[in-house]
Chains A and B, each alone.
Chain A
């Protein structure tokens, strides 16, 4: 399999993971709470650390799963396992389109256990220093795991097919790529807009983001089947 197919799969997987909404919601929550009690400069540092935390978790997960595949799957996932991943993507695509957001409400609440959302809200409210913001970023990225675990397996498999130094570059690039929506939000707030405006945009375009995420998962499923299984 050529490096180009691996890079294309990684980019598509990055777009799919970037379309997940929990990390973005966590950052908006952090902005909202932090701007209410801290100076803008401190909030900027907190947001930066949140984004670094989110990237770090993605990078660590990709590295860990690459290690697991390297040691327990003989260096590459068998087509059967990739078919399972494609099946999970297709299921995630369906779930995204139908159940990702709580229905009938003009909010962006996700179908997560209430205790868990309360925990993230509490942590976002209590975040006062950079380490807490970093760990909140780690936590929110980790919480996306039910949707992103299969993506990590496919990405790790692609990375293992690459040559030498390109593997590290690909893992780092993937981690940065998944944080693009967070960086866009940070720039948006830096340019004098409020997090509430971003939240309003999210509410207005809820259907679009649902279809975009669902479509990205479906396309990723087809891509994996077409280029890695067949």
Chain B
């Protein structure tokens, strides 16, 4: 029998994006100031991207963040993209 999927909606927050990027940046040993700059810049871009959208999935947001990170720091983008695909 197929399992019923639960639909939970969350309010988007730029600080959540910054926090998640900072966590990944610390785990790869990026200097704090540099990591903060990258996180703030990505959050700004994500804010712009989300402006005209009513509802997005967590996956869409993740993809957008990864796209932005790839332009700024490849290692960080890799860590962000793959942290839940290790085992």
Contact = CB atoms under 8 A, between A and B. Distances in A.
Q: Do A and B bind each other?
A: yes
B86 A199 contact: yes
Contacts of A105: 85
A136 to B, nearest CB: 12
A107 to B, nearest CB: 4
- Provide the main secondary structure of the chain B interface: helix
Contacts, number: 60
B27 A33 contact: yes
A107 B85 contact: yes
B86 A35 contact: no
Q: Secondary structure at chain A's binding surface: helix, strand, loop or mixed?
A: helix
Interface residues of B, number: 16
B85 to A, nearest CB: 4
A78 interface: no
Given A22-B87, A25-B87, A107-B85, A196 B28 contact: yes
A112 B83 CA distance: 17
Contacts of B22: 36
A200 B83 CA distance: 11
A32 B27 contact: yes
Nearest to A33: B27
Nearest to A34: B27
B62 interface: no
A31 B28 CA distance: 10
Q: For the side of the interface on A, what is the size category?
A: 20 to 34
B75 interface: yes
Contact of A26 (B23, B26, B84, B87): B87
Given A37-B23, A194-B28, A109 B78 contact: no
A193 to B, nearest CB: 8
A36 B27 contact: yes
B9 interface: no
A36 B23 contact: yes
Interface string A126-150: 0000000000000000000000000
A129 to B, nearest CB: 19
B33 interface: no
Interface string A186-206: 000000101110011000000
Contacts of A28: 86
A112 B87 contact: yes
Interface string B62-87: 00000000000001001100111111
A31 B27 CA distance: 7
Interface in A25-48: 25-26, 28-29, 31-37
9 contacts: A25-B86, A26-B87, A36-B27, A37-B26, A105-B85, A107-B86, A194-B28, A194-B29, A196-B78
Given A107-B82, A192-B29, A196-B28, 4 more contacts: A31-B27, A109-B86, A120-B87, A194-B28
